[in-house]
A and B are shown apart, each in its own frame.
Chain A
Amino acid sequence: MTTFIQQILLGLRDGSLFSLVALGIVLVFKTTGVVNFAYGNMGMFSIYIAYSLLTYSGAPLWLAVAVAIVFAFFLGVAAERGLLRLVRHMSHSAMLILTLGILMILEGLSLQIWKQDYRSFPNLVSGVRIIRFLDGRIILRNQDILIFIVAAAIMIGLFMYFKFTKTGLAIRATASNERSAKLMGIKVGLVFAAAWGISTSLSAVAATLAAPRTLIYPNMMLALQIQGLTAAVLGGFDSLPGTVVGGLLLGVIQQLVGNYISDELRMAFALVIILILLMVKPSGLLGSKSVERV
């Protein structure tokens, strides 16, 4: 019983990370209508910045991470203003191709600067926690607990932001109907830039939390990006709560499959389960019937 609960908790830890990644993807998709393929790599590049600060300038960990997240924000804004906006009037596929370009540029740049080597990144907190429960013990690393808490706090913060602030409302309005938002006087250009900035910061946060386990290397975010996309699809790709639920579910399914069926098959098996789920309910768990943007 305790092993099972332990597995569920570990699944939720992974899942909260998937949700975080998925939220960033969905946020940009909902506002600007494009799936950002460079999303994971933008976080990867930011975490390299944190790594460099940490290693070469001896900055404290919190400062390095903070700089990386702020850097990510501006990286996102720069990508939107400097590149995506230029092709926005063409088509969504033009924007999609552009994000593939950013993906490759960032990968090439990081290879040039930091080489292929795997670099280690410290846990934000160390130590383990042992919880006595029923007839056994549940062992969690403090970093695991932190991942869950940080992801949850950010998600709750984001929901409050979208629900209760004027700019949050403006972002939702723009995502819902861009032309209408313009008629309300909302500057949709600012909204696009903000969405990209927030989204890219989320990628950096996810990279920070994941880096101690994945290590830092140019493709470190590949799995997370796929899992994030899967979580987004599972959640219906247009509802933020759906995305969170999708991420958590994916995390738990993967963990249980990995533990009870086969560790090698965890991702493949999880994807099969999702395929079946989507055949039963094509609009995703909490998604609305139609996703407007293509």
Chain B
Amino acid sequence: MLSIKNLEVYYGYVCALKGISVEVEEGKITCLLGSNGAGKSTTLQTISGLVKSRSGSIKFREKEISREDSSRIVSLGIVQCPEGRQLFPAMSVQENLMAGAYKVRSKSETLENRSMVYQLFPILAERRRQAAGTLSGGEQQMLAIGRALMASPLLLMLDEPSLGLAPKIVEQIFDLLVRLNSEKNLTILLVEQNANAALKISSTAYILETGSIGLQGPSAELASNDLVRAKYLGA
């Protein structure tokens, strides 16, 4: 579905991505692991069109998108749920969701998405009039995911959804991702530092090391790889 080939990204003179290649298969969960500064977020920013690549290609459903702007990329169905949630704190829960549906033209589709999000996260429906900034960390993460779902994504990209959350909440969020993937057939590209959980729910994994892909393969295989276990799973 998404095919990245030899992607190179520079911040000024600093090379952030040294020609990485990643394949995201339709209907699967793919995860991108790595430590801080490895280039995970840069990869997502580049796919979303916030950062422009120097060379290489990003193809979405066979169509080159590396030169498209962020607005067009959302229209195509690639939606990112950013790191640190990045909500609109002074706006209400409902307004945050409606802002997420900016690119959805039809009113009925917007309302359908909204009731779907409220069904997934009843707590958000309860707090729909509350300012987003007053929610708990877990609820904010749910809202961030809900807001991304409002855009009717075909490919949902999540940047560290587990960041700063209690283990129980993380489990909830990851269960939800599995459900979205299996029930709604949503393709997911998951960026995580929490390698344990991410390898469990994904089918394919890539490990980024300072701007290049170190290891890649089926998640189950990587989870039992000694190198990975020592470096990322703390075992």
Contact = CB atoms under 8 A, between A and B. Distances in A.
B202 interface: no
Nearest to A186: B102
A170 B82 contact: no
Contacts of B82: 179-180, 183
Nearest to A172: B91
Given A173-B91, A176-B90, A179-B86, A185 B102 contact: yes
Interface residues of B, number: 25
Interface string A169-201: 110110011011111111100000000000000
Interface string B88-112: 1111000100111011000000000
A288 B88 CA distance: 14
B91 A185 contact: no
Nearest to A288: B90
Interface string A150-167: 000000000000000010
B103 A172 contact: no
A184 B74 contact: yes
B88 A173 contact: yes
A169 B100 contact: no
A250 to B, nearest CB: 24
B170 interface: no
Majority-rule SS of A interface residues: helix
Interface in A256-294: 288
Contacts of B87: 177, 180
Contact of A170 (B73, B74, B80, B102): B102
B48 A181 contact: no
B91 A183 contact: no
Given A166-B102, A170-B102, A184 B147 contact: yes
B6 interface: no
Contacts of B74: 183-185
A197 B119 CA distance: 40
Contacts of B75: 185
Given A169-B99, A288-B90, A182 B50 contact: yes
Contacts of B98: 166, 169
Identify which of B82, B88, B98 gathers the most chain A CB atoms within 10 Å of its CB.
B88
B88 A187 contact: no
Given A185-B70, A185-B71, A180 B103 contact: no
Interface in B14-41: none
B71 A186 contact: yes
A15 to B, nearest CB: 25
B151 interface: yes
Interface string B181-213: 000000000000000000000000000000000
B79 interface: yes
Nearest to B95: A169
Given A176-B90, A176-B91, A187-B71, A181 B50 contact: no
B86 A173 contact: no
Contacts of B73: 185
A26 to B, nearest CB: 14
A185 B103 contact: yes
A180 B86 contact: yes
B70 A182 contact: yes
B151 A185 contact: yes
A76 B74 CA distance: 28
A186 B100 CA distance: 9
Interface string B54-84: 0000000000000001110111000110100
Contact of B99 (A179, A181, A187, A288): A181
A177 B83 CA distance: 13
Interface of A: 166, 169-170, 172-173, 176-177, 179-187, 288
Given A183-B80, A184-B147, 9 more contacts: A173-B88, A173-B102, A180-B86, A180-B87, A180-B88, A182-B50, A183-B82, A185-B71, A185-B103
9 contacts: A166-B98, A169-B99, A172-B95, A179-B82, A179-B86, A183-B48, A184-B103, A185-B102, A185-B151
Interface of B: 48, 50, 69-71, 73-75, 79-80, 82, 86-91, 95, 98-100, 102-103, 147, 151
Return the 5 tightest CB-CB contacts between A and B, nearest first: A185-B74, A185-B103, A176-B88, A180-B86, A173-B99
